[in-house]
Amino acid sequence: MNWLNQHLQAIKLVLSRMDSNKLSTFMISLVIAVAMAIPGVFYLGVEHLSKLSNHMQNETEISLFVKLDEPASTLTAIDAALKSNPAIQTYTLATKAEAWEDLKAKAASSKINSEVQNLEQNPLPDAFFIQAKSADAAALATLRDELQALPGVEQALLNAEWAKRLSSILALGTKIIAFIAALLALALLVIIGNTVRMQILTQKDEIVVSKLIGATTNFIRTPFLYAGIVYGLFGGLLAMAMLMFIVQLYNQSVAQLSQLYSNDFSLAWFNPPLYLGIILLSIFIGWLGSFLSVSRAIAAIKID
């Protein structure tokens, strides 16, 4: 009971001190919030892209481009080979003439690539678009190699490959975020430690008197530890508000894009695990920052 009472007293004291120093309390919370929100934004972005690339990695399409200037018999031979291949679900042929007309039509409607109209010769190859039966990466690669070996094939492309490259770049991005977050956490420790040390100096008289009348170090330290915790809590909540605001802005600007791709690009407005993580982490950093500085600062105050 006594123990609980002491903690309640300490929290009351801290809150009343913060109430009389609203501006500086807000400032330190803002510093914490910004430092927490920056890696938070990066994290949201990377997570979002990862989701998209994971989705694309499940695609089983292989594009097969035929060498230019091959006779029509080559096309027939490839067509026969595809038909007899048991690993293939379906395939379609886009002849170079079709592709050429398609391109010219697109160029005319968009009026951007008028250069296309000036080309004298069709630069496009005949192409087969193949859906494999298996989505397994190894099976797809085998099939791709098999198709590449067919006579007259210029290139067999696995569409999932670039998605894989993207996902490995994203994995690197995650590591960089972790690194930035660690640096920011270190900076926060120093900032919070310093803020608490300054507070200890302004409360020097009280600490001296408390020591003289028999206060334990724990009794003196507790309010400052709570100050760190409360700063962390305020900073974490503020960071959450910032992230929600940023997600909202993002969602508004991609709404149109989503419609065009008939895909959902929007981010979840409320992300409990992320926000909870940010708040708990900033509380922990607040506590640790004040813990690291408080014992030394209190010991440095001499009584006499």
Partner 1 sequence: MIKFDHVTKRYPGSNEALSQVSFDIESGELVFVTGHSGAGKSTLLKLIAAIERPTSGTVLIANQNISQLKAAAIPYMRRRFGLIFQDHKLLYDRNCFENVILPLHINGITGLDAAKRVRAALDKVGLLHKEKAMPITLSGGEQQRLAIARAVVSRPSILIADEPTGNLDSSYAADIMGIFQDFNQVGVTVIVATHDARGMSATQNRVLHLDHGRLTVSNSAESVNA
Answer for the pair 190, 281: CB distance below 8 angstroms, yes or no: no
Q: Which residues in 216-255 contact partner 1 (CB under 8 A)?
A: 216-217, 219
Instruction: Choose between 2 and 109: whose C-beta lies nearer to partner 1.
Output: 2
* Residue 34 touches partner 1, criterion: CB under 8 A: no
* Residue 26 touches partner 1, criterion: CB under 8 A: no
Side-chain half-sphere CA neighbours of 133 within 13 A: 6
Q: How far is the CB of 268 from partner 1 (least distance, A)?
A: 46
Of 9, 89, 90, 194, the residue at the interface with partner 1 (CB under 8 A) is: 9
| 3-class DSSP string for 80-97 | HHHHHCCCEEEEEEECHH
Instruction: Choose between 5 and 262: whose C-beta lies nearer to partner 1.
Output: 5
x/- contact string, 172-211, with partner 1 (CB under 8 A)? ---------------------------------xx-xxxx
Residues 6+ apart with CB under 8 A from 96: 122, 124, 125, 126
Q: How far is the CB of 302 from partner 1 (least distance, A)?
A: 10
Contact range with partner 1 by CB under 8 A, out of 43-51, 52-60, 86-94, 213-221: 213-221
Q: In 3-state terms, what secondary structure has residue 285?
A: helix
* Residue 295 touches partner 1, criterion: CB under 8 A: no
* Residue 213 touches partner 1, criterion: CB under 8 A: yes
Number of residues that bind partner 1 (CB under 8 A): 19
Answer for the pair 171, 54: CB distance below 8 angstroms, yes or no: no
Q: How is residue 130 written in tokens?
A: 């193949």
Q: H or E element: which one contains 64?
A: strand 61-66
The amino acid at 218: N
Q: How is residue 71 written in tokens?
A: 């006779």
* Residue 304 touches partner 1, criterion: CB under 8 A: yes
Strand pairing partners for 94?
A: 127
Answer for the pair 229, 240: CB distance below 8 angstroms, yes or no: no
* Residue 273 touches partner 1, criterion: CB under 8 A: no
Spatial distance between the Cα atoms of 106 and 216, rounded to a whole number of angstroms: 81
Chain positions contacting partner 1, by CB under 8 A: 2, 5-6, 9, 205-206, 208-217, 219, 303-304
